[in-house]
Amino acid sequence: QKEVEQDPGPLSVPEGAIVSLNCTYSNSAFQYFMWYRQYSRKGPELLMYTYSSGNKEDGRFTAQVDKSSKYISLFIRDSQPSDSATYLCAMSAQGNTGKLIFGQGTTLQVKP
């Protein structure tokens, strides 16, 4: 079993839809949770970062962490065609010298 599980999709939604992307994990030592966005044939770029449990909002994006359930989510409101990309969740434990454990990534397509 992988440490981080993420449904690879693909996920196809109409423009303006609310998108929910999720990851589950097994390692209770994870404290830092990130979402990276990767456009086709590009490197991943950090989208959202959350420490421990709770919510964080940035524009149309909201990241949620539920450590009790070992479950994290990324919500995209009013999705746009420019949001079409692969979204990778990533996690790290305290004192872990930058070692990120990634989910498999969910490919999202937003249709105009």
Partner 1 sequence: DTAVSQTPKYLVTQMGNDKSIKCEQNLGHDTMYWYKQDSKKFLKIMFSYNNKELIINETVPNRFSPKSPDKAHLNLHINSLELGDSAVYFCASSHLAGGPADTQYFGPGTRLTVL
Least distance CB 104 / partner 1 (angstroms): 5
Cα separation, 58 vs 74, in Å, equals: 11
> Considering the rule CB under 8 A, would residue 22 count as an interface residue with partner 1?
no
71-100: contacts with partner 1 (CB under 8 A): 86, 88, 92-100
> Considering the rule CB under 8 A, would residue 38 count as an interface residue with partner 1?
yes
Judged by CB under 8 A, the number of residues near partner 1 is: 27
What are the C-alpha distances in Å from 2 to residues 57, 89, 102? 28, 13, 10
Question: 9 is written with which tokens?
Answer: 């999709």
> Considering the rule CB under 8 A, would residue 42 count as an interface residue with partner 1?
yes
The vertex-63 CA angle with 62 and 68, nearest 5°, equals 140
CB-based contact 16:81 (threshold 8 Å): no
Total Cβ atoms within 10 A of residue 76: 21
Q: Which is nearer to partner 1, 95 or 112 (CB)?
A: 95
Q: Which is nearer to partner 1, 53 or 107 (CB)?
A: 107
Residues interacting with partner 1, by CB under 8 A? Answer: 8, 31-32, 38, 41-46, 49, 51, 86, 88, 92-100, 102, 104-105, 107
